[in-house]
Homo-oligomer: A and B are copies of this chain.
Amino acid sequence: MKQYSKLIRNLFVIVIISSLLVSCLKEVKERSEIKNADYGIVIHGGAGYMVPEWYSEEQIKAYEEKLNEALKTGQSILKNGGTSLDAVEATIKILEDSPLFNAGKGAVFTSNGKNELDAAIMNGADLNCGAVAGVTTTKNPISLARLVMEKSKHVFMAREGAEKFGRANGIETVDPEYFYTDKAWHSLQKAKEKELENEKLGTVGCAALDKHGNLAAGTSTGGMTNKRFGRIGDVPVIGAGTYANNATCAISCTGHGEFFIRNVVAHDISALMEYKGLTFDEASEKVINDKLVKVKGDGGMIGIDRNGNVAMKFNTKGMFRGFILEDGKPVIKIFKD
């Protein structure tokens, strides 16, 4: 009888030690290994201080329809076995071609009345990436960023040089007039009256997981209204506004770019997953609603991890956002839940 009780106690001790060790080392890994979807796509159209009162029903409908169109474009590529890179580029092009967002067609004006656009794209499979800053005649900066990634030895090109490279490789260019919209022009006049540089709502971004298990992310922006001094924000800074890594997740950010650069936001979320074992949701929450909030860094992020888990976090009043997973049901939101 005594021997049995001894044996039982020893077994008990062994079980305790093992379970402590296992939970200490593996718990988080197991949590993050839960497969949520085989493929999916998530987008944003900028975060900011928007509240329902600011928008008419018509405006809300216009935003929702455009976000839906963009999502469906990407999802259809993924559904047919296309790559996450193709889905990200095609989806962002839809948003760039719309005057609703501060990217491509709807880009805001600099203080001297120009439109200077930035974009970046990253392939999670091999960490290759491309970024462009300050382009003025490229219709779809996201496509130029992809061209830089795939057809040049470089990853980051600026201004005339970037556009020269684009033209040499057949990228679609437009007259700078193309980027004129009344909305952006009036926004500049208002900003000038107040002598402010405004981080206008509307940077766009996309992240996708394809059927092959590859992640990609991209971001495109027209920058700040009334921007001076050749300021570059976080969008073309890989690791800050855009990051993708098959080991973790794909992310696109939007917000007060300076804070996203200082905090290397997109890479920080990935590192918290890879090195500290946080889930995608926990890591995104930590960076956007803890670290950034502490330094008053306004903005948000969207992304998808390698298991198809979606995160859409923001510390502002709202964020144009949405996702579709393999089930095909789009979820689109603007304001807080």
Q: Contacts A158-B133, A197-B153, A268-B267; is A238 near B238 (CB within 8 Å)?
A: no
Q: Contacts A239-B239, A261-B238; is A159 near B230 (CB within 8 Å)?
A: yes
Bound-state CA distance A20–B158 (Å) is 53
Indicate if A152 sits at the interface (CB-CB under 8 A).
Answer: yes
* A–B pairs, 26, beta carbons within 8 Å: A13-B13, A20-B20, A127-B263, A154-B258, A155-B262, A156-B231, A156-B233, A158-B158, A158-B159, A158-B231, A159-B159, A161-B230, A162-B230, A165-B228, A238-B240, A238-B261, A238-B262, A238-B264, A239-B239, A239-B261, A243-B264, A267-B267, A271-B272, A271-B275, A275-B275, A275-B276
B-contacting residues, A288-318, CB 8 Å? 295
* Contact A261–B156 (Cβ < 8 Å): yes
Indicate if A237 sits at the interface (CB-CB under 8 A).
Answer: yes
* Contact A129–B275 (Cβ < 8 Å): no
B-contacting residues, A246-272, CB 8 Å? 258, 261-264, 267-268, 271-272
Nearest CB on B from A268, distance (A): 7
Chain B residues within an 8 Å CB radius of A160: 230
Q: How many copies does the complex hold?
A: 2
Indicate if A207 sits at the interface (CB-CB under 8 A).
Answer: no
B-contacting residues, A198-233, CB 8 Å? 228-233
Indicate if A322 sits at the interface (CB-CB under 8 A).
Answer: no
Bound-state CA distance A134–B134 (Å) is 12
B-contacting residues, A28-48, CB 8 Å? none
Indicate if A164 sits at the interface (CB-CB under 8 A).
Answer: yes
Chain B residues within an 8 Å CB radius of A24: 21, 24-25
Chain B residue at minimal CB-CB distance from A168: B229
Chain B residues within an 8 Å CB radius of A272: 271, 275
Chain B residues within an 8 Å CB radius of A21: 20, 24
Chain B residue at minimal CB-CB distance from A265: B239
* Contact B258–A239 (Cβ < 8 Å): no
Question: Which of B25, B157, B164 is A232 in contact with, Cβ under 8 Å?
Answer: B157
- Counting chain A residues whose Cβ lies within 8 A of the other chain, the interface size class is 35 or more
Chain B residues within an 8 Å CB radius of A153: 197, 258
Indicate if A17 sits at the interface (CB-CB under 8 A).
Answer: yes
Bound-state CA distance A306–B138 (Å) is 45
* Known contacts A127-B295, A133-B158, A237-B238; 14 further A-B pairs (Cβ under 8 A): A17-B17, A20-B20, A24-B24, A128-B262, A133-B232, A153-B258, A157-B229, A161-B230, A162-B229, A164-B229, A237-B239, A264-B264, A267-B271, A274-B275
Nearest CB on B from A149, distance (A): 10
0/1 string, A109-146, CB within 8 A of B gives 1: 00000000000000000011100011000000000000
